[in-house]
Amino acid sequence: MTYGKTFAALRDNTPVWPAYTRHAFVQGLGDGTLPHAAFLHYLKQDYVFLIHFSRAWALAVTKADTVAEMRLAAGTVNGLINEELALHIKICAEAGIDEETLFATQERQENLAYTRYVLDAGHSGDLLDLLAALAPCVMGYGEIGTHLAATKTSDTYADWINTYASAEYQQVCHDVGELMDGAVAQRIGNDPATSPRWASLQARFAMATQLEVGFWDMGLDP
Amino acid sequence: MTYGKTFAALRDNTPVWPAYTRHAFVQGLGDGTLPHAAFLHYLKQDYVFLIHFSRAWALAVTKADTVAEMRLAAGTVNGLINEELALHIKICAEAGIDEETLFATQERQENLAYTRYVLDAGHSGDLLDLLAALAPCVMGYGEIGTHLAATKTSDTYADWINTYASAEYQQVCHDVGELMDGAVAQRIGNDPATSPRWASLQARFAMATQLEVGFWDMGLDP
Amino acid sequence: MTYGKTFAALRDNTPVWPAYTRHAFVQGLGDGTLPHAAFLHYLKQDYVFLIHFSRAWALAVTKADTVAEMRLAAGTVNGLINEELALHIKICAEAGIDEETLFATQERQENLAYTRYVLDAGHSGDLLDLLAALAPCVMGYGEIGTHLAATKTSDTYADWINTYASAEYQQVCHDVGELMDGAVAQRIGNDPATSPRWASLQARFAMATQLEVGFWDMGLDP
Amino acid sequence: MTYGKTFAALRDNTPVWPAYTRHAFVQGLGDGTLPHAAFLHYLKQDYVFLIHFSRAWALAVTKADTVAEMRLAAGTVNGLINEELALHIKICAEAGIDEETLFATQERQENLAYTRYVLDAGHSGDLLDLLAALAPCVMGYGEIGTHLAATKTSDTYADWINTYASAEYQQVCHDVGELMDGAVAQRIGNDPATSPRWASLQARFAMATQLEVGFWDMGLDP
């Protein structure tokens, strides 16, 4: 399933992309060698991440120019808060970590840096600036899920992999891709790479990707 | 059904409250004397209002301090965008006005003043400042719906009345009331009227109520 | 002195522009027929206006992409707060109105609508959206000052006229014009009218101009 | 010179405060052992820091409730952009680094994490939340300047030390302290530590202090 031409163009000009989607943490999910302590540490940080990432998607609702943009962004906020967070709560509960403990997780600097950068992209710019910073997480997890579902050699982290490989999650990536393509067409036209804004959108996308690499590094360092 | 003690305290100190909830426009809905042209004009403006009001609720998600606050605000955004807007689209469609026309409605100054004031309350202050500006619309419509359902002498505007008198809408008012009470307890404690902030929250609530009066006035002036 | 090509293009496509810059209020300043009560009423509302307009220029600092953009926006904030507000305080003091009274002025809806619209232009969009909403006030007053200085038939409001006709104020208009031209070049290129964004920038400029007309109308209605 | 009672209370409950103000980087400035490469690396990162820190002070202007709060915040923005940045530009120029190079500095994650956290404190909360995140940098540098001026054993970094020990900078700290005390009195009263908000203000202050420690660590690691 395609994630749209804007995402494809941004990703293909981001040299650090494979360092994110083929990170050692990702490989450990696929072959089951990731230590369970690292996984739980990651889940706790990711719970805090999702809270701030949901805030960034809610910010997108406030910056939409059309009802279609609003609906998609609002649906994403709801999906994140009521579904993706629930997965984290369920897996952590099975490991004996309740939601109060999750919420009280001490946020690591790598985590904080990422979400606050995304929020600032939205506050300082327009919807496109925000989407360029939101896309690496949404679509990167889509690519990782698909890749691991096809290549995994262990079922240890199958629940996690299946979440992001699922038709539902792939549809989210597809819809966000359409949102981006539409937002680009409406603001900078059908040949965006010729726009003076393209370089700064590319820079935001690359910075968010770099911060994803930092997040995986942090995941390996409980 | 109670809308919480914070709302009750703010409303009871807002002299202009009855001018809003017992406005001539409201009476015309109850006795069926409101001209249909005024009602359609109001619906078109209210469609634009709901778009910006949804943006303000999305802003509340970005300003929440707890997951409970986030969930409730995010649920309200979704309800507004996917349900309340749908009512407007349906009634207008029956009157031959399609959604594209609705979206292209020229926003009147009274309308613009209100929603941008609410958004600025959120941007300049914290969640409480925003909630104090959001509450008059949410809860006022709840009171108006209940009142008209009990006193109406005409069924001309029964669909509209039943929407706001419905158990679903009354539950929204109740939930927002709980959100406000919780947000107050967490930020200024259990005796809020003694806080130095109370006067400014009261002033925001009163200004939003005044802007509701202006909105009804505008409704009578297609 | 030119105010830049972006401003000129936006103004020339705004049919309501003359209704703003040649408003009856403006004519009354030039021929001295404006009642003093209306002038003082206007000054009090304009004091409140300048406070929120300064907030909007401060928002521009937070949305700048270059140090040059930041410096100019920050200098404008300072000029507004420390110089233009001072003129209002001085004239009002001479009329027996102290600053505390000024600050306590009940903001009229026409006033509130305008500044909150400008602030929302900034929060929902990027620096260009904000500048398009800020420009009509800054440059319109520059045009009005120059026009009245050349055509006035009374010295009753000479202090006010001279403020906006002054070399200092004209320089502000020139600098803001350069800021706009630079921001446009950097974001949508050197042929902005061909950009898909141009229509929305034009719409913001036109709405802010319309809100200026409403402000003058309010000025004539103490 | 006192920096106000709010700052004193927050600092005295922040165990990590000495790790920031007596950091090895600070000691290296005082005894001249800090490698010049580390100092230049720090200056370049600090130039980028000041740009975003100025944006955060500009955000404070948009969140002020009184003209006094606005004036002080606007004056601080101007001081940062037109004076403190100038010091960095001058010292770097003497070392052969021009401003274009400074502006193009690749922002380190520790740097980015700090300023975006401060900006988000402002966007998600009110002026107090923002001031609690701004204070550790402003006042910490004031304490460090005073301390190093009294204890330094080398003049290698005397220019830097004298900047922050100067009467002008100490006055800034004093004025920001008054701003905080006034903002606290107006929003949570004269016994702030009993307010339910105090814990969250304390947490923001502590997080910003922790991020200052990270910034010094980064400074030692060019």
- What's the confidence (pLDDT) of residue D177? 97
Q: How far apart are CA C146 and CA C110, in angstroms?
A: 25
Task: State how far the Cα of C140 lies from the Cα of C165, in Å rounded to an integer.
Answer: 11
Contact at CB, B51 and A61, closer than 8 angstroms = no
pLDDT at C181 (0 to 100): 97
Torsion of the alpha carbons at A178, A179, A181 and A186, rounded to the nearest 10: 140
Separation CA D84–CA C217 (nearest Å): 45
For residue C149, give how far its alpha carbon lies from the nearest alpha carbon of chain B (Å): 32
Which residues from chain A sit within 8 angstroms of residue C62, using beta carbons? 123-124
pLDDT tens digit at each of 222 positions of chain C:
799 999 999 999 999 999 999 999 999 999 999 999 999 999 999 999 999 999 999 999 999 999 999 999 998 888 888 778 888 898 889 988 998 889 889 999 999 999 999 999 999 999 999 999 999 999 999 999 999 999 999 999 999 999 999 999 999 999 999 999 999 999 999 889 889 999 999 999 999 999 999 999 999 999
Chain D residue with minimal CA distance to B198? D187
pLDDT of residue D16: 98
Check residue C83 and give its pLDDT: 78
Q: How much is the pLDDT for C80?
A: 87
Is the Cβ pair D70, C55 closer than 8 Å?
yes
How many CB atoms lie under 10 A from the CB of residue A217?
A: 14
Which of helix, strand or coil describes residue D101?
helix
How far is the alpha carbon of C198 from chain A, nearest alpha carbon, in Å?
A: 9
pLDDT score of B91 = 87
Shortest CA gap A140–chain B (Å)? 24
D120 in contact with chain A, both atoms CB, cutoff 8 A: yes
Chain A environment of D124 (Cβ under 8 Å): 55
Token pair listed for A86: 């629930």
Name the residue of chain A whose CA is nearest to C127's CA.
A125
Q: Cβ–Cβ of A189/C200 closer than 8 Å? A: no
Using CA atoms, how far apart are residues C176 and C134, in angstroms rounded to an integer? 10
State the smallest CA–CA distance between residue B79 and chain C in angstroms: 22
Round to whole Å and give the CA distance between C73 and C67.
Answer: 10
* Cα C180–Cα A135–Cα A159 angle in degrees, nearest 5: 165
Of A129, A185, A195, the CB nearest to C126: A129
- Where residue B96 falls (left for φ over 0; alpha for ψ -120 to 50; beta otherwise) is left
Q: Which amino acid is at A122?
A: G
Residue D109: per-residue pLDDT:
96
Tell me if chain B has a CB within 8 Å of the CB of D27.
no
Using alpha carbons, select from D31, D60, D63, D29 the residue that is nearest to residue D46: D29
CB contact under 8 A, D78 and C81: no
pLDDT at B79: 83
Cα C177 from Cα C121, distance rounded (Å): 18
Q: Is B221 left (phi over 0), alpha (psi -120 to 50) or beta?
A: beta
Q: In this complex, which chains have at least 3 CB pairs below 8 Å with chain C?
A: A, B, D
> Does A185 contact C at CB distance below 8 Å?
yes
pLDDT single digits (tens) D33-83: 999 999 999 999 999 999 999 999 999 999 999 999 999 999 888 888 877
D residues 70-99 closer than 8 Å to B (CB): none
- Asked if A74 lies within 8 A of B62 by C-beta distance, the reply is no
> How close, in Å, is residue A214 to chain D by CA atoms?
9
Please tell me which residue of chain B has the smallest CA distance to C117.
B116
Distance of residue A196 Cα from the nearest chain C Cα, in angstroms: 5
Find which of C110, C117, C212 to mutate to test the B interface (most B CBs within 10 Å of its CB): C117
Distance CA A125, CA C126 (A): 4
Instruction: Tell me if chain B has a CB within 8 Å of the CB of C194.
Output: no
Has residue A1 got a pLDDT over 80? no
Size of interface A-C (CB pairs under 8 A): 40
ipTM above 0.90, yes or no: yes
In the predicted model, is pLDDT for residue A140 greater than 80? yes
Neighbours of chain B (3+ CB pairs under 8 A): A, C, D
Whether the Cβ atoms of residue C69 and residue C183 lie closer than 8 Å to each other: yes
D38 vs A78, more confident: D38
Q: Which residues of C87-124 are buried (b: 16+ CB within 10 A; e: fewer)?
A: bbbebbeeeebeeeebeebebbbbbbbbbbbbbbbbbb
Do C77 and D74 lie within an 8 Å CB cutoff?
Answer: yes
Return d(Cα C140, Cα C21) in angstroms, integer.
6
Residue B188 to residue D200, Cβ atoms within 8 A: no
Cα B33 to Cα B41: distance, rounded to the nearest angstrom: 15
Under an 8 A CB cutoff, do A74 and B75 touch? no
CATH superfamily membership of B5-21+56-219: Heme oxygenase-like (1.20.910.10)
Question: In a 3-state reduction of DSSP, which class is residue A198?
Answer: helix
Query: What is the C-alpha to C-alpha distance for residues D46 and D142, in angstroms, rounded to an integer?
Result: 16
Residues A148 and A137: their CA atoms lie apart, in Å, by 16
What are the pLDDT digits (tens) for A105-124? 999 999 999 999 999 999 99
Nearest CA in chain A to C195: A188
Return the pLDDT at A197.
94
The predicted-structure confidence for B80-92, as pLDDT tens digits, reads as follows 887 788 888 988 8
Which regions in chain B score pLDDT beneath 70? none
Interface test with A, best of C194, C195, C201, C204 (most A CBs within 10 A): C195
Contact at CB, A58 and B55, closer than 8 angstroms:
no
Residue B24, phi then psi, degrees to nearest 5: -55, -35
pLDDT tens for residues A8-66?
999 999 999 999 999 999 999 999 999 999 999 999 999 999 999 999 999 999 999 99
Cβ of A71 within 8 Å of Cβ of B81? The answer is yes
Contact A119 D123 (CB under 8 A): yes
Backbone angles phi, psi at B13, to 5 degrees: -105, 20
Average pLDDT over residues D79-90: 84
Residues 6 or more apart whose CB falls under 8 angstroms from that of B143 comprise B21
Query: How far is Cα D188 from Cα A6, in angstroms, rounded to an integer?
Result: 48
Contact B119 C117 (CB under 8 A): no
pLDDT in tens, D107-119: 999 999 999 999 9
Interface test with B, best of C45, C59, C112, C204 (most B CBs within 10 A): C112
Structure tokens at B73: 């605000």
Alpha-carbon gap: D8 to the closest alpha carbon of chain C (Å): 29
For C159, phi then psi, to 5°, come to -60, -45
Query: CA-to-CA distance for A122 and C125, rounded, in angstroms?
Result: 9
Q: What is the average per-residue pLDDT within A149-156?
A: 98
**Above 80 in pLDDT, residue D126?**
yes
